[in-house]
Amino acid sequence: MSTTALGISSYYHDSAAAVVEGGHIVAAAQQERFSRNRHDAGFPALAVASCLAEAGRKLDDVDVIAYYEDPRLKFSRVLATYLATAPRAWSSFRHSMPEWLGWKLRTLGVVRDELARLDLGAVPPIRRFRHHESHAASAFLPSPYESAAVLCVDGVGEWATTTLWHGRDRRVEPLRELRFPHSLGLLYSAFTYFCGFKVDSGEYKLMGLAPYGRPVYAPLIREKLVDIRPDGSFRLDTRYFEFLYGQVMTGRRFAELFGGPRREPEGPLTEREFDLAASVQLVTEEIMVNLAAAAREHTGERHLCLAGGVALNCVANGKLVESGLFDEIWVQPAAGDAGGALGAALLAANGPRAHLGSGGDGMQGARLGPGYDDDRIQVYLDAQTLPYRRLATDELRSTVAGLLADGKVVGWFQGRMEFGPRALGGRSILGDARNAEMQSTMNLKIKFRESFRPFAPIVLAGHTTEYFDLRQDSPYMLIVAQVAERRRLRQAGTEHLRGLDLLRVRRSQIPAVTHVDHSARVQTVAQDTDPHLHGLLTEFHARTGCPVLVNTSFNVRGEPIVATPEDAYRCFMRTDIDALAIGSFLLLKSDQPPWHEDTDWRGRIPLD
């Protein structure tokens, strides 16, 4: 008889829940989508309830609760760090110890109490797994490979910051590890902080900023901050960092090294920030390629699986693909701490990997959250007396493709919600990649975010190589590739441009998704994974000759991706989105009643 496991990650960032029956992933979701608090770190009560509802289960039906890390082992690292850095870390120690001694040491008991409060039945036994063990399981067990090398790279778990595993059958076997404070994730976060972005949130902004600069600081980073070794390992010179001592990442010594104080959040971006981003990105790519080479050497495998927060660095993932070290790589779409809930549940359930027989992965396109059928959507629309048209599937696709071809922006709310930080066609905003104005329109009038941030393309899987230099599928938008040479445009007299002036140049036939270095964060769309989105792309291709669209998450800056029809309509009306395709229903902005809110909603959403 198969085991049903409920996985939970909580109390750091991106709390989540997942239900696994045997080896089959039934549901997974992040707490932020329901609480509407981005990166919500609290107990994922709403996510647990949602996942159990999707599974048609109560706690009485669950065999085991799987927690994603070992709190006591984590405390040993926290305490050892304070002892090693005393008395300098006294302020941080005084701030954090009451919390650890008050409840964090008994986290599993707190989890049990929170589950009992849900009144969904008796709470089953709780098992804890190690943080990187959960990451490794999330990377390998749902992957499409019978065996593979597995790399987990993040800030820190209990002690581990980087681990190498060998995945075979239903097991992940640990081979090597690097320990705190020597952390690639913390190195990248230090530069994120120094460039004025939020740690554990703004790292993707730093990655997007890198192509605007030149890696002039890379030699200094290698000389002073990180010793990169031939065996794939590395060591940080902790004298330049503050994360050992308190609540910030860098201080005076780091600032002196890079010519002045950190950029203030929301302050103007200068050439220094562009160059710092380019430099740490290059060093990160070098370290990741070295780690991958060590993984290949130690396992002899032809496939590589990735998880941990650094695995969300899709530019580095692209460099791994380009390196040719492995025939193919597969990245867990919820590679950060949210995915730990899934990995722990998979470990506890220990079921067969039945998806291997299909030739695909076990993530079901990452569409593991709640969905809304047409009946539930119509109840909401009618209750609000909103004007809409209900269309047959083919008519909806045709109409939306026509709107997109005419330069309109469309909210696309279809099927189950995605698990992980990317919108993959369930909760997406779509636009025409050929439209040179689309990038600025979406950034400034819809997402209300910084102008430098790029957008990602979705492309029909059978047409990928016509537009991108990518030699494998990328279904989860986690690999960056170059736009194909034949799709690029040449503009004379632009060589002198630097920084944000680079945005003025039209670089390709799909300018809305071509970054300033001709790169793109590609999502390939296959018929068997998402037939509805594939059908829309096919219709758009038939109309325009272009199999590529812009795909960005259905939210505004600082807000979690929309989860419900109500969330979707609110975002639709707050922004310059022209149309909303929600289930079988199409709503046009021009038909909607005026939108009123008592206060400025942007003041209520904290900036990311």
Mean pLDDT of the region 177-191:
98
Max alpha carbon distance in the chain (Å)? 70
Give the CA count within 13 Å in the CB-facing half-sphere of 576: 13
**Res 445 pLDDT > 80:** yes
Residue 115: what residue type? L
Taken in order of first residue, the domains within the chain and their CATH numbers are 4-68+70-128+340-360 (3.30.420.40), 178-331 (3.30.420.40), 374-604 (3.90.870.20)
Alpha-helical (H) ranges within 371-437 are: 374-383, 393-405
Q: What are phi and psi of 479, to 5 degrees?
A: -135, 130
Instruction: Tell whether the model's pLDDT for residue 493 goes beyond 70.
Output: no
Asked about 131 being catalytic, the answer comes back as no
Please tell me which residue, 504 or 6, carries the higher pLDDT value.
6
458: which 2 tokens? 């979705």
Q: Work out the average pLDDT over 309-332.
A: 98
Is residue 492 predicted with pLDDT exceeding 70?
no
Confidence check: pLDDT of 337 > 80? yes
Residue 446 has pLDDT above 90, yes or no: no
In 89-189, DSSP assigns E strands to 126-128, 147-153, 160-168, 171-179
More confident residue, 563 or 247: 563
What was the pLDDT predicted at 1?
75
HSE value, Cβ hemisphere, 13 Å, CA-based, for 136: 30
pLDDT per position as a tens digit, 573-599: 999 999 999 999 999 999 999 999 888
Residue recorded with tokens 């913390």: 186
Average pLDDT for residues 101-116, to the nearest whole number?
Answer: 96
DSSP designation for 412: E
Share of the chain above pLDDT 70, in %: 99
The model's confidence at residue 95, banded by pLDDT at 50, 70 and 90, is confident
pLDDT for 498 beyond 80: no
The CA distance from 364 to 81, in Å, is: 41
Lowest average pLDDT, out of 79-83, 293-297, 411-415, goes to: 79-83
pLDDT score of 94: 86
The tokens for 117 are 């409060």
Cα atoms found within 13 Å of the Cα of residue 472, Cβ hemisphere only: 22
The residue-averaged pLDDT of 152-173 equals 97
Q: What is the mean pLDDT of the chain?
A: 95
* pLDDT range class, residue 137, cuts 50, 70, 90: very high
Residue 440, pLDDT above cutoff 90 = no
Cα–Cα nearest to 427, from 374, 479, 478, 371: 371
> Rounded to whole angstroms, how far apart are CA atoms 142 and 24?
9
Contact 29, 50 (CB under 8 A): yes
Split at pLDDT 50, 70, 90, the class of 56 is very high
Evaluate if residue 354 carries a pLDDT over 80: yes
Q: What is the pLDDT of residues 217-264, one digit of tens each?
A: 999 999 999 999 999 999 999 999 999 988 899 999 999 999 999 999
**Average pLDDT, integer, range 372-385:** 98
**Mean pLDDT of the region 481-507:** 82
pTM: 0.96
> What are the CA-CA distances from residue 193 to residues 188, 190, 205, 244 (Å)?
9, 5, 11, 15
